[in-house]
Amino acid sequence: YESTIRFGENLAKYEKAIMPTLVIRGTEDQMVSDEIVNAYIDATGANKFSLYGSDHSYGFYSEDAASYTLMDTVANVTASFFAQHFAD
């Protein structure tokens, strides 16, 4: 968790993102707090997508229907974000 603390302390050095940035965070994430994520978003202007009920892994380490749904959601949100911001 030391890197998370350093990251939080260094947020003042970040500038607004030059290109569109997407942060995906599970609402049950115990690894990175919502406070850190929101501070990063405020500092950089990144976009945030909250994945309700998911932890830090977004279901990638489970093999059940609910996890597959979470993984599909992450893939679809990411693809939509890229299509919206990077496709010509």
d(CA 3, CA 59): 23
Residue 57: pLDDT band with limits 50, 70, 90: confident
Residue 76 has pLDDT above 70, yes or no: yes
DSSP 80: H
Residue 84: which pLDDT band, with cuts at 50, 70 and 90? very high
Whole-angstrom Cα Rg for the chain: 14
pLDDT digits (tens, 9 = 90+) for 15-43: 665 778 899 999 999 998 888 889 889 88
Do residues 42 and 71 lie in contact, with contact meaning Cβ atoms separated by under 8 Å? no
Residue type, 21: T
Which of 80 and 43 is assigned the larger pLDDT? 80
